[in-house]
Amino acid sequence: MPSAAAAADPVWDTWASVPWTAVNLPEPTSPAGCGTNILGWLKTGVPYLPRGEALSLQTLDLWIPSSATGTGVAPDINSLPAGQPGSVWIIYIHGGAWRDPRITSASFNPAATNLLRALASENSSSSSSSSHCTKLAGLVSLNYRLSPHPSHPSSDPARKAKHPDHISDVLAALSFLSRLGVIPGGANNNNNNNNNNDNSTKWILAGHSCGATLSFQTLMPRYHFLLPLSPPEPLTPAVLPPPSAVVGFNGLYDLAGFIADAPESHAHLRDGYREFTVSAFGGDESVWRAVCPASCEPGWVGKGWLGHGEGAAKIVAVLVQSREDQLVPWQQLERMRDCLEREGPIVQEVRVREARGEHDEIWREGGRMAEVLWEVVEGL
């Protein structure tokens, strides 16, 4: 439960506007020993801007495992059970070329269910003192304003976004989550700023396709996006540590490079890439290069509003790509890997993992996405 002072914060007022709902096991039976079909609890469509100000897509979904409450009863609508020391939050950003209204925060549902199922299975087969029982604090999936889509016209103002609206919304959502205590250093969290502290709640930022772009953009200097130096909510940037890991699934990392010199296997997509890039970022190619993580100026990692400088926590970067991806070539991963390997020492390690299937299969099926994220969580 928040303190009385925190409860007066408009962030908590917004949080309390959405009820908890149960996340049930898809199968009719529970993992052995669980004693319940409830995998966790979910709030869907929580506005991350003050009530009355948020547009339809300025919302997030948040899951906690059933073990967070210790009972089969939903948490109080005003509360967010705190994660155990050393536990990890996963924050996910969906893809869709910055404009596809059919891909939303709900695209994380299959992976979220798989992660909650994996945690329930570990808890049922482990002692209560096992690290598995408390390792995953919760999950978040973000929505953000979208650029217009020619095949899906809309009068919704949330569908008329232009850069930097997309990244601005992501930063606003992270600010909101910090105020809730999900990200260490927020108003409901007494952890210190060192994200390497084993007793501190940690967090992972992950994204698919353009969501991977947005995930890495959070680590860039804010002047890249012509945004104020402070996040939308009045938080001091220094108290917000970087994520322990950033995970990109089938990510877009160098739009200008692809449009100028696409590999033969994907060259037929150049006009389509140019169309959605102009829709999201405008027609200035120098802007495309400046805002994409694999093509912007060197030394960007750790210079974003999430904190940087001597003694800053190290980041693990995980790049996941399918060689069967019909929309994004393996070359995008290679360019991002080369970029990150030059960016040390903030980047502690760059890991490459392979996925299977076409571009959207990894989130539609959810199993491989959950598998990679679980591996990252267990390694922190």
Active site residues: 209, 325, 359
Sign of the C-alpha dihedral computed for residues 117, 355, 340 and 254 taken in this order? negative
Would you state the structure tokens that stand for residue 183, as one six-digit string? 């990200």
Q: Are 210 and 252 in contact (CB under 8 A)?
A: yes
DSSP code of residue 151: T
Q: Can you tell me the distance from the alpha carbon of 292 to that of 37, in angstroms, rounded to the nearest whole number? A: 43
- The DSSP string of 283-348 is S-HHHHHHHSTTTS-SS-TT-STT--STTPPPEEEEEEEETT-SSS-HHHHHHHHHHHHTSTTSEE
DSSP code of residue 252: -
Q: Can you tell me the distance from the alpha carbon of 124 to that of 55, in angstroms, rounded to the nearest whole number? A: 41
Please enumerate in sequence order all residues whose Cβ is within 8 A of that of 235, keeping only pairs 6 or more positions apart, or say none. Answer: 175, 178, 179, 186
Q: Find the helix packing angle between 367-378 and 109-125, rounded to 10°.
A: 50
Q: Can you tell me the distance from the alpha carbon of 379 to that of 165, in angstroms, rounded to the nearest whole number? A: 33
Alpha helical stretches, state H, the chain: 4-7, 10-15, 109-125, 165-180, 210-217, 255-260, 270-281, 285-291, 330-341, 361-365, 367-378
